[in-house]
Structure 1
Amino acid sequence: MRWHKDNRVDDDILRHPADVQTWKDFDAAHNWFASDPRNVRLELLSDGFNPFGNMSTSYSMWPVVLTPYNLPPWYCMKESFLFLTVLIPGKKSPGKNIHVYLEPVIESLNELWNPGVKAYDAYSNETFQLHVALLWTINDFPAYGMLCGWSTKGRLACPVCNRETDYLRLQFGSKEFYLGHRRWLDKDHPWRRSRKFDGKSDFRARPQLLTGQQLLDQVTFALGSEQASSSRKRKRGASNPSLNWKTKAAFWGLPYWTSIALRHNLDVMHVEKNISENLLGTLMNIEGKTKYDMTVTLDLKNMGIRKELHIDRTGAKPCLPQACYSLSVSKQREVCEWLKTIKFPDAYASNISRCIISDGRSVTGMKSHDYHVFI
């Protein structure tokens, strides 16, 4: 339990959660806690799954798991060090009611923070006062919204950008389109002057990052205003005082929660999987999985950008132009042949060669169920 202090190499390379700035800022804000490396730092994870393995059955289980980060990185995610604290069954997701189930967990964490509990250190053969802190949560984006209390849907879907979320409703795609990604670039970056993204230049500064105390004040005021006007229909938006807050998260009951800079994190696995599937489906032009279709070209024309991708109406029938990023049939076959030659470790993707079609068919003609096997 002292590895993060005694054995970790601190050389500005990210190898362990103790290397991140959030950990170091927490230590600076709570010196008395950081002074004893045996004090435990926890991470909370939660996600839903269908225990019957049948998606047609309306039932879900939501485990809430805690894991200590005092250990080396090769131990942190081992099954023996994952502590199941809550198991929430039901016919549907608990939604914002998950915080009701988390109340006993928060109560126990408050006791473990102050005054703590007596513990025995077998290494030094002494008894000491052990304190515990929850540093952050890690989830996919829907569970992220449930745990932080902010709705990750609609116009203000980003909890970090908050009321400064840049959005646009697509007329033909009927989806919210989130812009403003160039605000994080350097001020003199050439892409800021480009009009290819949304038809205009963007020299705005990045959204202001709110502190924990500012967010707590915001959610308290927002939900208080909503209760006062509960008789009227709620309208979400940057001008509405309730913004996208759905509930006050139980984590605000922790006395140190406002001092943590990064309270909620996204699971890398879900982000990589979703992005890679969307990119591969678009590049390989897989039917039902590509993000390039007729509605996209109509929205591009409506925005006045990417004229080379607008629908070609010169012929008798409207034609969807070939996108420069979509691979030809020959290139698709080359990608498949390349994937068949890749060697992966056992139990990871060692059988990927058996998942690649080998009869010379074009990947373009693959159906949805073929695509999942292909991936």
Structure 2
Amino acid sequence: MGYDMLSKTKIQKLRIGSKVCEGDGLYFKKTKADGGQWSYRYTSSGKSREIGLGVYPIIDLLEARRLRDDNRRLRARGKDPIIEKRKAEQAKRLKDGVKFSDIAEKYIQSHEPQWRNKKSAQAWRNTLATYVYPELDKWPLEDITSKQIADLLLPIWHSKSETARRVQQRIVRIFDAACANGIMEGDNPADWQRRLQHLLSSHTNKPIKHHRALDFRDIPELFKQLAAHDCVSARALEFNILTAARTSEVTMAVRKEIDTAKALWSIPGHRMKMNQPHQVPLSRQASALADAVMRQHNQSFIFRGIGRSGRLSNNSMRKFLQVTMKRHPLTVHGFRSTFREWAAWQRKYDRLAIEFSLAHKLKNRTESAYMRSNLIEERRDLMQDWADYCFSGQNT
């Protein structure tokens, strides 16, 4: 390694692979017959550092000297050239590149048509705008770290744990979309298993809030009381309990889904929580109820509402149960637990038949294979016995 002043002629005579010092920290390494690389060496905090200045001959000797002098001036002001270069590159990427919010909005727009709840898109936008954009939009997408994500989640991690969990999951999906579209590379910085679980405490020890449910022993009395109410909410609630369905599955049920001849309710996948079609064998009572309600009108939705949508709102049954029937704090969803508890107490029904009746996703792969059979006949007996029990407190 020499310290002679370089020239174009000296560079041409250098052996390929040789590296020489031009002076004052400027180095040249010859990489091929007509080219090489410039760099600037310096010491920072007692450590030797080297920063690239460009490729020769695109960067000629005079330009290389100018770049060296620029870096020497930075050192004279107490600044580290490598750190300053990274800052400049980061600022350029932020100015020229896309922000987290740009990717998020594209993700929302592309997935919005698939979301069953029309309010989901606005919920995504609201939570991201409140908790995420103010922090992550400060940085180029590829520079965002797991620590930054953990820091923005920490203020709500315990006080608003459910919101924090949803925000984290939404950030994960947006980064996945960025990787899938080639906008960024590497691991997802919001991934829980690989990253965030090491920075945030788990929510698994937090008590789960269950929907308040009615003891199954009180169901016959409830049905006696429901019979005294002549309104759509009462009939919808009866149908909801008899079928062990979710609220929206009942309020959005339409005529074409009900086959009274086969006593079968076929719910399309897009209306189900698991996005899988679901068939509900109807008991005699449930089938007769649906038929009687449909005979009262010719609209598409079975349980009509007064709003512009034409269907019963998701809150109608809850308000009827808690206000009209004075059954607060019971919830409509809680009747699914009531059904499950009743079925378990009978000790005669196939566990999978119970799970299928609730349209639950089976975690065990072997059990999931039964999805093909649907256990429809086993469930038909189960649902008929349940209906008979519901109406056992009155003459049917």
Q: Aligning the two structures, in what range does the TM-score lie when normalised by the shorter sequence? A: under 0.3
So what's the TM-score if we normalise by structure 2? 0.25
Q: Which has the higher contact order (CA 8 A, sep 6+)?
A: 1
Hey, which of these two has a bigger chunk of helix by percent?
Answer: 2
Larger radius of gyration: 2
